[in-house]
Structures are given as structure tokens and as C-alpha cells.
Copies of this chain bind each other. A is one copy, B any other.
Amino acid sequence: MTMGHFKAVYHVEGTKDSISSRVEDITVEQTVEFPLDLIERQDILDEIVGKVVSVDPIDEGLFETVIEYPVETAGDELPQLLNVLFGNISIKPGIRLIRFDLTEELYAKFEGPRFGRNGLRDLLNAHNRPLVCTAIKPMGLSPRELADLAYRFALGGIDMIKDDHGLSDQSFCPFDERVERCSEAVAKASEKTGRNCLYFPNITGPIEQVLIRAKKAKNAGAGGVVISPGIIGLDTMRMVAGDDSIGLPELFHPALTGSFTVNPGTGISHGALYGQISRLAGADAAIFPSFLGRFSFSEDECTDLVRGTEYSMGQIKASFPVPAGGMSTSRIPELLDFYGKDVILLIGGDLHRSGPDLTQNCKEFVELVTG
């Protein structure tokens, strides 16, 4: 077995006395999960168990360690790669996955985002500016009402219009009707404006339905899809991204993933989860609750997340960060100052606040961002 090693960086709580056994423990837990003294085959000890590359103190009671794992342990599969990176140790307190570096050969097993930053810009013919996005909501509106909103948003020059992630296939808003009406409404508006607006229906749903919904979205003329991989699995997102019969850009919604990032001492870093792992799963853009919104990510966490969306990962394309979560148009200058132009700004509810004419509100939003 000589396919090389991939590296993972963890932050591990411990003391000068405990840290070395804490870190060795990770190398075992994530691979053989077996008492080393009972392993008879020397080649398993040499070639399967992870190895500690370095351990460095970085703060009071906190260490950064680099561990390398044999490429073979990941079996060329995203699920098993995730399992080796963080499967069992997710259960142990005081360990956080910070980032990882696969080998070029292992990266090559993953297709990553089909479009990525440049591809999405090509689709929208918008190469030198931030992109603007909004959501159709609230839950409870009918497909006809949502399509009407989408039409007015698209007329106002929005680049991307997504379903609220809580819209699935409820009795008051069936998926099929919603996707058909909204796709049609957005196409009609695009014809009028001469711009290419993309509609992203939410295809998160029963696993047997995901590809079916993706294909329906494609057939209806949708411009992309929204998936919540925290709910239906990162590998499901990868499957949809890789399906040539669909071929649509994918928006990663963070629902149910917060428990990975919300406690700084455990879980997975924002950059590794919403950036690196999300790209392995094929996300062209990752939505997250930005600082300046109603949620809780800090500036540092947002910086780390952006880093993950463009961190060098072999042939895997960079994705867009999509700061969101109750932001108001009044914060746009600050947001642009922070994120620069490689960003998709997503403003939802607040677009309804500045006046009764939604299309006008959108025009002002677009002007603020791109003007």
C-alpha cells in the first residue's frame, strides 16, 4: 500500500502531560479502532494506523496537531473520507477538525463543484462584481404567490432567486407546481430584462425523491438547486452535482449543520465544513449566517469560511461564500468591504421592508451591490 497520505489538522484540548496520548488516540480511533498491543500484523500498524506529524501548543490548554492517514483508508469515497477525518472523534470532547489536505490523486477522485465561482459567473454573465440573491418566502404562500414574488424579484435584476429552505413538498405548496410556476415566472422576467436570472428550487426531501426533483427542476427550466446536506447527506449533494443529466449549480444550505460549528472547541471549523467539505460535495456556493445578520458567526469565523471556499484543493474549483441570515440592505457597504467582489449577497425578508414596490426594492439592492 503506497498511495501516500492525506493530512488533517485538529485543535485538541489537553495538558502538556495528556496531549501526546490524546493525539495518538485520534490516530487509532479514526483507523483501526483497536488496541494497538493486540494487533499482530506489523504492516497494519505501519500502513493503516494514522501518524502524528506534529503537535504544537497554540493557547492555554489547546494544541494544534497534524495527523496523516493512508489514502487507502478513505476508499476513494466521500462518506469514508469523512469517517476517517472526523467520524468517531466527533463524539469525543475537545477535538475540532480545522482543515485538511488530500493528495492530488485523492482530490482527483472528486469532481467538486460543476461550476464554481467562474462557472456561475459565466452563467450569469457577471464577471467583475458581487452577485445578488434573494429567497421566496414565507412558508405558507401558495406556488402562485411565490411565483409572483419571484417574477418581481427577477424584474428587479436579482441574479439568483432561491426557495426558502423550509419549502419542501407541503400540501399548501407542492413541489411540482411551485417549481413549474416559479421557473416560468423567472424566465418571463428574464426575457423582459434581458438578464439571466437563475431560480434555485429546494430539492431537499425524501432520498428517493432527490434525483427526481432535481430532474423536474431541470425540465421546468430552473437555474440551479438548493440542498441541505446536513439533512439529507453530503454524499447526496455530490451525487446530484455529478449527474450529467441534471448539470445545475448547487447551493449548500446550512440547516442542521450548526452543531458542527457552534462550539469552538469541538466539531468542524467553518472553513473545513462550509468551504472544503462542501466543495468536495459539489457545492458551487455555500449559504451561511454572516456576522451583521441575526445569527452568530463572528468575523473571524466568516473569514475562515471564505478561506475554505478558495483553499487550494487540487483540481477542485473554488466556491462562492453566500453570507445571509437576516441581513439588512443597510449593511451592504460593510459586507462588501469585508467580502470583496467574490461573494453572493443573499438578503431575504429585509427586501420587503424598504417599500411596497418589491421590484424597486430589488433594483436598489442590486444598485447598492453592483453600482
A contact set with B: CB distance below 8 Å: 1, 30-35, 38-39, 41, 43-44, 47-48, 72-73, 75, 77-80, 82-84, 86-93, 137-141, 164-166, 168-172, 204-208, 228, 230-236, 238-239, 254-263, 266-268, 289, 295-296, 325, 348-350, 352-353
A48 touches B140 (CB 8 A): yes
* Cross-chain contact of A78 among B93, B206, B262, B348 (Cβ < 8 A): B206
Q: In the complex, which of the residues B39, B170, B254, B348 contacts A91, with contact meaning CB atoms closer than 8 Å? A: B254
> What is the chain B residue whose CB lies nearest that of A32?
B138
Tell me the complex Cα distance, A249–B334, Å.
54
Do residues B172 and A72 form an inter-chain contact, with CB atoms below 8 A?
A: yes
Contact call B48/A256, Cβ cutoff below 8 A: no
User: Can you tell how many copies of this chain the complex includes?
Assistant: 2
Is there an interface contact between B231 and A79, defined as CB atoms closer than 8 Å?
yes
Contact among B38, B47, B92, B170 with A140 in the assembled complex (CB-CB below 8 Å)? B47
Q: B91 near A262 (CB under 8 angstroms)? A: yes
- Min CB gap A88→B, angstroms: 6
Give chain B residues whose Cβ lies under 8 Å from the Cβ of A35: 349-350, 352-353
> Which of A35, A87, A230, A261 has the most C-beta atoms of chain B within 10 angstroms of its own C-beta?
A87
**A222 to nearest B CB, angstroms?**
19
Question: What are the 5 A-B residue pairs with the smallest beta carbon separation, nearest first?
Answer: A233-B233, A91-B258, A90-B258, A87-B255, A32-B138
7 further contact pairs, Cβ within 8 A, besides A35-B352, A75-B169, A207-B235: A35-B349, A43-B140, A77-B169, A91-B289, A91-B325, A207-B207, A232-B233
Given the complex of chains A and B, what is the CA–CA distance between A235 and B141 in angstroms?
26
B-side contacts of A75, CB under 8 Å: 168-171
Residue of B137, B233, B259, B267 touching A268 (CB-CB under 8 A): B259
Q: How many Å lie between the Cα of A348 and that of B88 in the bound state?
A: 15
Option from B77, B141, B170, B230 in Cβ contact (under 8 Å) with A73: B170
Q: Once the chains bind, are A231 and B83 in contact (CB under 8 Å)?
A: yes
CB-CB nearest in chain B for A273: B259
- Provided the pairs A34-B137, A75-B169, A93-B296 are in contact, do residues A235 and B206 lie with their beta carbons within 8 angstroms? yes
Q: Inside 8 A of A87's CB, which chain B residues have their CB?
A: 165-166, 228, 230-231, 255-256
